[in-house]
Amino acid sequence: MTETITNAIAVRDTGPGALVAQHRGDIELVMPSHLQKRVGAWIRTTQGLLRRDDKLMKAAQNDVGQFMSVLLDAARLGLEPGTEQYYLVPRWNKQKRCTEVTGVRGYQGEIELMYRAGAVSSVIVEVVYDNDRFEYRPGRDERPLHEIDWDAEDRGELRLVYAYAVMKDGATSKVVVLNKGHIAKARAKSDSAGKDWSPWNTDTEAMWLKTGAHRLTKWVPTSAEYIREQLRAHADVAAEQQAPAQIAPLPQPINTSNDEDEAIDAEFVDEEA
């Protein structure tokens, strides 16, 4: 049934919409296994985005190869295109002298990848406005203190963004704190930041959150490979501990302490995006 509906939509579409349906197998092939059952809905959502956004459709038509490359990147990451997980943005290409579709990973996408790696129990990414109370001293505070007056009609202008993760063993990752200067440097690296349709202008707070979340990925695992590495490490340890009975060493006291269980020192991150 899903296949029939997808094909029917593809027939009504021309160009990029039909191409997405034609490459269903390629999209499904690169998707994480837990999303492959939803590939039909993923394709229909993408086709719907094209029908609703004329600028996006035009950019996709200008270079369908670039458009499919962006979609395959979103599929490989297991993120939903056209959402705050993964923006689809028309971008002006000076060499081609036309707009083309580019992919921009959103803050929800960054957070999703951290959770998917399996090492964190929670991820906190928040913006701080001028009228908020914010305190954080590296070396003294494990986590920031952020108080918001929810009754205030105006919290002021964006001031800071911070991000940290609580690991599954209870440890706190390094705390990332970025000010307006850091955000300005990250924004300057975006070719489309000066355009009206850029998420830097249409969803400014989300881009601050995205920049903070992206910086946190330097300190927190974001790949399923992390899980595989942990499993291999445990398997190697178990193999080393299994020795022939005739040469087995005398039992030793089990040391249950683990240095990695200690909280990681938090620090203010002052570096370019």
131 and 86 in one domain? no
**What DSSP letter does each residue of 161-186 carry, written as one string?**
EEEEEEETTS-B-PPEEEEHHHHHHH
95 and 116 in one domain? no
91 and 8 in one domain? yes
Kindly state the DSSP code that residue 86 receives in the 8-state scheme.
E
Q: Which of 93, 167, 155 is nearest to 123 (CA)?
A: 167
Do the Cβ atoms of 54 and 48 come closer than 8 Å? no
Residue written as token pair 């881009």? 207
Whether 194 is covered by a domain: the verdict is: yes
160 and 93 in one domain? no
Q: Which of 28-32, 179-183, 191-195, 203-207 has the lowest mean pLDDT?
A: 191-195
Whether 181 is covered by a domain: the verdict is: yes
How many domains is the chain built from? 2
38 and 72 in one domain? yes
CB contact set of 208 (below 8 Å; sequence gap of 6+) = 127, 158, 161, 178, 183
Of 105, 131, 156, the one marking the end of a domain is: 105
Q: CA-CA distances (angstroms) from residue 166 to 104, 118, 142, 161, 265?
A: 26, 12, 11, 17, 12
Strand partners, 160: 128, 179
Of 105, 134, 163, the one marking the end of a domain is: 105
CA distance 213 to 238: 36
Range of the domain at 91: 2-105
71 and 118 in one domain? no
Residue written as token pair 């006291």? 253
Whether 257 is covered by a domain: the verdict is: no
Write down the pLDDT at residue 175: 97
Q: In the chain, which ranges are E strands?
A: 86-93, 98-105, 120-129, 133-135, 145-147, 158-167, 176-179
168 and 116 in one domain? yes
Whether 24 is covered by a domain: the verdict is: yes
Tens digit of each residue's pLDDT (9 = 90 or more) over 140-195:
999 999 999 999 999 999 999 999 999 999 999 999 999 999 999 999 988 777 77
127 and 75 in one domain? no
Whether 240 is covered by a domain: the verdict is: no
Whether 226 is covered by a domain: the verdict is: no
129 and 83 in one domain? no
Q: How far apart are the first and last CA of the chain?
A: 46
Of 197, 216, 235, the one marking the end of a domain is: 216
**Of 18-27, 170-179, 226-235, which has the strongest mean pLDDT?**
170-179
Q: What percent of the chain has pLDDT over 90?
A: 51
133 and 88 in one domain? no
Taking phi over 0 as left and psi of -120 to 50 as alpha, with beta for the rest, 136 belongs to beta
Tens digit of each residue's pLDDT (9 = 90 or more) over 92-124:
888 888 889 999 888 899 999 999 888 899 999
128 and 58 in one domain? no
Q: Which of 34-48, 110-124, 145-159, 219-233 has the lowest mean pLDDT?
A: 219-233
Count of CB atoms situated within 10 Å of the CB of 126: 17
Q: Which of 86, 15, 21 is nearest to 57 (CA)?
A: 15
CA distance 72 to 87: 13
Whether residue 227 has pLDDT greater than 60: no
133 and 189 in one domain? yes
Strand partners, 178: 161
Whether 16 is covered by a domain: the verdict is: yes
Whether 120 is covered by a domain: the verdict is: yes
pTM for the model stands at 0.68
